[in-house]
Amino acid sequence: MEADTTASPFYMLALETTCDETSAAVIEGPWPPVSDLDSGWPVPRCLSNIVSSQVDLHSPYGGVVPEIASRAHLTAILPVIRQSLDAAGIDYPDLSAIAIATKPGLVGALVVGLSVAKTLSIVLGKPLITYDHMEAHLYAAQLATPSAHIFPCLGLIVSGGHTTLMDCQTALDTTWLGGTLDDAVGEAFDKVASMLRLGYPGGPVIQRAAESGDPKSFDFPRPFSQETRLVFSYSGLKTAVLRALQANKPMADDPLQRPLLIANLAASFQAAAVESVVIKTRQALRQTGHKRLVVGGGVAANRLLRKALEEMCHRQKAELFIPPMWLCTDNAAMGAVAYLKLCRGELADLDCDVVAGLLRPNNGRNKR
């Protein structure tokens, strides 16, 4: 299927269903010939971005339940698309292309989005483009600062499913440098929040509880901080919080003392989790020689992390790019990265499939 290169204006519908947000966005951009890309990547414009959250569905379980997520996507995706088109002031016939995130993520959730995207591609006769959710998280910073040159850079993705460092030569040419050996930092926030009975999602409630706590009250571990390997680990940190809670059971059971204990545990955990990210990111900047750090993912909304990364980048004389809060969490606007693939002529076949889980290439440039 060939893209219509004469259509003006050019509208792309981007879809996001990798985890527990159903999102659709309309992306507008010029249609440059592939030969013009040597002069720089064009930055498209987001006309609408509708997100349907599943937080209320997963809150009773303290985390995302894959089967529930898949069923919720089925219910929400068509209404979300309709709202996105209406917000952009266009309709289905006006679309020039369909984009969908196909990796990484929950397999059932991914399949829902890809099935809808394929159907729209066939019915409308428009090209299908698949994109990488990880690259999209980093490209969100480019959307937020269209006039800036953010590539090449070191990419840091911190979310409920990922704690990953990437060497990014362009938005599409990336190499995996390192990541978590067990739990992602966002998952650790969720699990600790559950231990402390603070609610879900964990990021905002931990941050709120930590405001009245002492981050030095508990000496929690910073795993691998003395190693040069670019790896993270959060399972031990979660266990340390649990043991500290158990060791202070009398205080935890006392209604008058419990609030202070919970605040101190939350503050100490948050400090350890954030410092672990900063330590490895600093090492990655030094190892790669990059002078730009681009951050994406829901945990990038954490105020302590943003401040710590700002201070670290200032000391390392590196530029820091973090998108605004609404572009940190999962959304389809960041699917604008698929527009670049379309410019390079990288269209997807209708027999393409999803890839659940995170690929970890062996030191090879991962050109998509």
Residue 198 belongs to some domain of the structure: yes
Distance of CA 281 to the CA centre of its chain: 16
Q: What's the pLDDT score for residue 9? A: 79
Q: Where does residue 2 rank: exposed (0-12), middle (13-18), buried (19+ CB within 10 A)? A: exposed
Q: Are residues 124 and 243 in the same domain?
A: no
- Cβ-contact 327, 43 below 8 angstroms: no
Q: What is the CATH number of the domain that holds 273?
A: 3.30.420.40
Residue 2 belongs to some domain of the structure: no
Q: Are residues 91 and 169 in the same domain?
A: no
Q: What's the pLDDT score for residue 350? A: 94
Q: Are residues 319 and 333 in the same domain?
A: no
What range defines the domain where residue 183 resides? Answer: 150-323
Amino acid at site 178: G
Q: Are residues 104 and 237 in the same domain?
A: no
Residue ranges in the chain whose pLDDT is less than 70 = 1-8, 32-40, 358-368
Q: Are residues 200 and 289 in the same domain?
A: yes
pLDDT in tens, 202-249: 999 999 999 999 999 999 999 999 999 999 999 999 999 999 999 999
Residue in the structure block whose two tokens are 């105020």: 303
Query: How many Cα atoms sit within 13 Å of 337 on the Cβ side?
Result: 27
Distance of CA 223 to the CA centre of its chain: 23
* Residues 260, 210: Cα–Cα separation, whole Å: 10
Q: Are residues 126 and 158 in the same domain?
A: no
Which token pair is 51?
């997100």
* Residues 31, 343: Cα–Cα separation, whole Å: 7
- Cβ-contact 128, 117 below 8 angstroms: yes
Q: What pTM was estimated for this model as a whole?
A: 0.90
Q: Are residues 284 and 339 in the same domain?
A: no
Q: What's the pLDDT score for residue 160? A: 87
Q: What's the pLDDT score for residue 358? A: 59
Q: What's the pLDDT score for residue 368? A: 36
Q: Where does residue 264 rank: exposed (0-12), middle (13-18), buried (19+ CB within 10 A)? A: buried
Residue 193 belongs to some domain of the structure: yes
pLDDT in tens, 77-96: 999 999 999 999 999 999 99
Residue 117 belongs to some domain of the structure: yes
Residue 68 belongs to some domain of the structure: yes
H helices of the chain, in order, are 55-58, 66-88, 107-124, 133-144, 185-195, 202-210, 235-247, 249-253, 258-288, 303-316, 325-328, 337-343
Q: Give the long-range contacts of residues 162-166, CB within 8 A, separation 24 or more.
A: 162/104, 162/134, 162/186, 162/297, 162/358, 163/232, 163/234, 163/277, 164/134, 164/358, 165/230, 165/280, 165/281, 165/284, 166/134, 166/138
Structurally, the chain folds into a number of domains equal to 2
